[in-house]
Structure 1
């Protein structure tokens, strides 16, 4: 009886250790794309009077329209997360599967907008799935978490985009057109009235 009980305890401890090991391995798959200090790995694409800089440990966009594009990649299937803050009346976007050329048209855009005159709010995939409810107040840090992967649904190829804001999963959008195949990550500086701040930018590649 004692031997059986001892064996059970050992097995339980080993199982717990394996679970902790698996959790640690999962966490190690996240790769940081921003060091919190420099613009290394990022390039501005757009107007000269648009400004991107590091302030108080965050990427900060001000001025005229531009994109701040990450030079790593391209990425296809992944989880991607970042902490974001947008000012009152501001507008920005978190782009994925995008190119490194000027303009706001290439790539999927996860909208960043709490009170801008454009009523399409944070949590939207712009032009595809729109959210009109305010989930985040302006001038407030929140976490954007996206899971993007190509899949097959009922015999049809599809790109799945799962959108989570501050731990609340809003929806999973199915893009049967598979509009954008792969690409880089980027942030949008929308207009001179917008100020966007980004920190803790991380990606976890997923298997194809």
Structure 2
């Protein structure tokens, strides 16, 4: 029996390792697609207003400069999303403000007139903080610190928008009928996504930008 014990233990350990290897990983969801290659802005379109606000450094999109916006115009979903998930690693520097737009459309200048802005802001003077559906259901609490990478995850399904920060739901918004029935473009419909350059004093980083298209 003594001689068979090491063999039995080795067999059990091997069986456990094979079992673990056969299980799907929590991060192996192939429906997520990276839409930023970490090197270029291929698939994205800059506004003609202050395009130098956006650059790529060390695998991240750096947003630093006067007001400008960067719209996704790549092949995924033909850059026209209705129900989808969008997440990125984000880092804000002190006093900075930015945004992640949903259901929007390219325009060469100005604040996007279509869709909603999901706020990115820990310490800027604007009281609407990260995770706010800007001007509709705002968040006052701060959940992360400037200078630290965190995950901002937006889920859009029908008339509902859920925002997670580091996997914690911080905002669960349902668009009211008064907005749904309005003729204004500031409502949920479909469209692309965009990143915001807010002002010359703000500096924000985005990387590992991914999209998952959901069924209608």
The 3-state SS of whatever aligns with 1:100 is coil
Shift of 1:29: 0.3
Alpha-carbon separation, structure 1, partners of 2:56 and 2:25 = 35
Question: In the alignment, what sits opposite 1:168?
Answer: 168
Deviations 1:99-127 (A, max 9, x none): 10133232211100111111111111101
The answer to whether residue 89 in structure 2 is matched with residue 83 in structure 1 is yes
- Counterpart of 2:184 in structure 1 is none
Partner of 2:72: 70
Partner of 1:153: none
- Structure 1 residue ranges without an equivalent (≥5): 1-15, 151-158
Which among 128, 135, 140 is matched to residue 143 of structure 2?
135
- TM-score of the superposition, structure 1-length normalised? 0.82
- Relative to 1, partners in 2 of residues 1:28 and 1:76: Cα closer, same or farther, differing over 3 Å? same
- Picking from 191, 196, 204, the partner of 1:196 is 204
For 2:132 and 2:208, locate their aligned partners in 1 and report how far apart those are by CA, in whole Å: 21
Shift of 1:23: 6.2
1:27 match: secondary structure: coil
- TM-score scaled by structure 2? 0.79
SS class of match (2:23):
helix
Counterpart Cα distance in 1 of 2:51 and 2:209: 25
Q: Tell me if the contact between 2:91 and 2:206 (Cα under 8 Å) persists in the aligned partners.
A: yes
* Cα displacement (A) at 1:194: 0.5
Partner Cα distance (1:49, 1:79) in 2? 26
The 2-side partners of 1:84 and 1:22 are apart by 24
Query: Given the superposition, is the C-alpha separation of residues 22 and 142 from structure 1 closer, same or farther in structure 2, using an over 3 Å criterion?
Result: closer
Unpaired stretches in structure 2, ≥5 consecutive residues: 1-18, 181-186
In 2 relative to 1, CA 191–23 (structure 1 residues): closer, same or farther, beyond 3 Å? closer
What is the deviation of 1:87?
Answer: 1.1
- The match for 2:129 among 121, 129, 135 is 121
Contact 1:46–1:65 (Cα < 8 Å) also in 2: no
For the aligned residues, what is the CA RMSD? Answer: 2.0
Task: Give me the whole-angstrom Cα distance separating, in 1, the residues matched to 2:44 and 2:83.
Answer: 21
- Greater per-residue strand proportion: 1
